[in-house]
Chains A and B, each alone.
Chain A
Amino acid sequence: MKPRENLTDVSEIKRPRRWHILVFLLPALVVYTAVMILPLVETLRQSLYNTVDGQLTFVGLGNFKVLFGDPRWAADFWNALKNNFVFFLIHMAVQNPIGIALAAMLSVPKLRFGAFYRTAIFLPTLLSFVIVGFIWKLILSPIWGVAPFLLDSVGLRSLFAPWLGKPDTALIAVSLISVWQYVGIPMMLIYAALLNIPDEVTEAAELDGVTGWSQFWKIKLPLILPAIGIVSILTFVGNFNAFDLIYTVQGALAGPDKSTDILGTLLYRTFFGFQLQLGDRSMGATIAAIMFLIILAGVSLYLFGIQRRMRRYQF
Chain B
Amino acid sequence: MSKARASYIRIGAVHAALIAYTLVALFPVFLTIANSFKSRNAIFREPLAIPTPETFSLIGYETVLKQGDFVGYFQNSIIVTVVSIALVLLFGAMAAFALSEYRFRGNTLMGLYLALGIMIPIRLGTVAILQGMVAADLVNTLTALILVYTAQGLPLAVFILSEFMRTVSDDLKNAGRIDGLSEYAIFLRLVLPLIRPAMATVAVFTMIPIWNDLWFPLILAPAEATKTVTLGSQIFIGQFVTNWNAVLSALSLAIFPVLVLYVIFSRQLIRGITAGAVK
The complex places the Cα of A315 from the Cα of B172 at a distance, in Å, of 30
Query: Are the C-beta atoms of B103 and A212 separated by less than 8 Å?
Result: no
Q: Could you jot down 21 A-B contacts, CB within 8 Å? A: A27-B90, A29-B114, A31-B154, A32-B114, A35-B150, A43-B126, A102-B18, A112-B15, A124-B28, A128-B254, A130-B214, A130-B233, A138-B32, A139-B31, A180-B25, A192-B273, A192-B278, A212-B10, A241-B123, A243-B123, A296-B120
Query: Are the C-beta atoms of B124 and A241 separated by less than 8 Å?
Result: yes
- Interface 9-residue window, one of B53-61, B62-70, B93-101, B193-201: B93-101
Checking A46, A117, A127 against B212 with a beta-carbon cut-off of 8 angstroms, the contacting residue is A127
Checking A121, A126, A193 against B278 with a beta-carbon cut-off of 8 angstroms, the contacting residue is A193
Interface string of A96-129 (1 = CB under 8 A from B): 0010011001101001110011111111101111
Shortest beta-carbon distance from B229 to chain A in Å: 8
Contacts between the two chains (Cβ within 8 Å), count = 258
Q: Which residues of B contact A (CB under 8 A)?
A: 10-11, 14-15, 17-19, 21-22, 24-26, 28-29, 31-32, 43-44, 47-48, 87, 90-92, 94-95, 97-99, 102-105, 110, 114, 116-117, 119-129, 131-132, 147-148, 150-152, 154-155, 158, 170, 174, 182-184, 187, 208, 211-215, 219, 230, 233-234, 237, 244, 247-248, 251, 254-255, 258-259, 262, 266, 270, 273-275, 277-278
The complex places the Cα of A16 from the Cα of B110 at a distance, in Å, of 21
Q: Which residues of A contact B26 (CB under 8 A)?
A: 120, 123
The complex places the Cα of A233 from the Cα of B119 at a distance, in Å, of 9
Query: Are the C-beta atoms of A136 and B104 separated by less than 8 Å?
Result: no
Q: Which residues of A contact B148 (CB under 8 A)?
A: 35
Looking at chain A's contact residues, the main secondary structure is: helix
Q: Which residues of A contact B278 (CB under 8 A)?
A: 189, 192-193, 196, 226-227, 230
Query: Are the C-beta atoms of A146 and B270 separated by less than 8 Å?
Result: no
Task: Report if A248-B234 is in contact (Cβ < 8 Å); known contacts: A111-B14, A149-B47.
Answer: yes
Q: Which residues of A contact B91 (CB under 8 A)?
A: 27-28, 31
Checking A4, A39, A135 against B129 with a beta-carbon cut-off of 8 angstroms, the contacting residue is A39
Query: Are the C-beta atoms of A299 and B230 separated by less than 8 Å?
Result: no
The complex places the Cα of A10 from the Cα of B171 at a distance, in Å, of 12
Checking A5, A24, A119, A291 against B103 with a beta-carbon cut-off of 8 angstroms, the contacting residue is A5
- For A, the interface residue count at a CB cutoff of 8 angstroms equals 95
Query: Are the C-beta atoms of A237 and B95 separated by less than 8 Å?
Result: no
Question: Which residues in chain A, 13-51, are within 8 Å of chain B measured between CB atoms?
Answer: 18, 20-21, 23-25, 27-29, 31-32, 34-40, 42-43, 46
A-B complex: 7 closest residue pairs judged by Cβ atoms: A39-B125, A128-B212, A39-B128, A42-B128, A24-B98, A35-B151, A28-B95
Q: Does A255 contact B (CB under 8 A)?
A: no
The complex places the Cα of A156 from the Cα of B127 at a distance, in Å, of 47
Q: Does A274 contact B (CB under 8 A)?
A: no
Q: Which residues of A contact B18 (CB under 8 A)?
A: 102, 105-106, 113, 117
Query: Are the C-beta atoms of B28 and A135 separated by less than 8 Å?
Result: yes
Shortest beta-carbon distance from A263 to chain B in Å: 10
Shortest beta-carbon distance from A100 to chain B in Å: 13
Question: Which residues in chain A, 225-249, are within 8 Å of chain B measured between CB atoms?
Answer: 226-227, 230, 233, 237, 241, 243-244, 247-248
Question: Which residues in chain A, 194-215, are within 8 Å of chain B measured between CB atoms?
Answer: 195-196, 212
Q: Which residues of A contact B117 (CB under 8 A)?
A: 32, 36-37
Query: Are the C-beta atoms of B121 and A149 separated by less than 8 Å?
Result: no
The complex places the Cα of A268 from the Cα of B105 at a distance, in Å, of 41
Checking A29, A108, A123 against B262 with a beta-carbon cut-off of 8 angstroms, the contacting residue is A123
Question: Which residues in chain A, 161-207, are within 8 Å of chain B measured between CB atoms?
Answer: 180, 183, 188-189, 191-193, 195-196
Task: Report if A31-B147 is in contact (Cβ < 8 Å); known contacts: A149-B47, A288-B127.
Answer: yes
Shortest beta-carbon distance from B162 to chain A in Å: 11
Q: Which chain B residue lies CB-closest to A135? A: B28
Task: Report if A130-B94 is in contact (Cβ < 8 Å); known contacts: A136-B28, A146-B47, A291-B124.
Answer: no
Query: Are the C-beta atoms of B211 and A128 separated by less than 8 Å?
Result: yes
Shortest beta-carbon distance from A235 to chain B in Å: 13
The complex places the Cα of A5 from the Cα of B170 at a distance, in Å, of 14
Q: Does A217 contact B (CB under 8 A)?
A: no
Q: Does A81 contact B (CB under 8 A)?
A: no
Shortest beta-carbon distance from A272 to chain B in Å: 7
Shortest beta-carbon distance from B237 to chain A in Å: 6
Shortest beta-carbon distance from B21 to chain A in Å: 6
Q: Does A144 contact B (CB under 8 A)?
A: yes
Query: Are the C-beta atoms of B174 and A7 separated by less than 8 Å?
Result: yes
Q: Does A271 contact B (CB under 8 A)?
A: yes
Checking B32, B155, B214, B259 against A244 with a beta-carbon cut-off of 8 angstroms, the contacting residue is B214
Task: Report if A243-B215 is in contact (Cβ < 8 Å); known contacts: A35-B150, A230-B278.
Answer: yes
Task: Report if A31-B150 is in contact (Cβ < 8 Å); known contacts: A144-B47, A244-B215.
Answer: yes
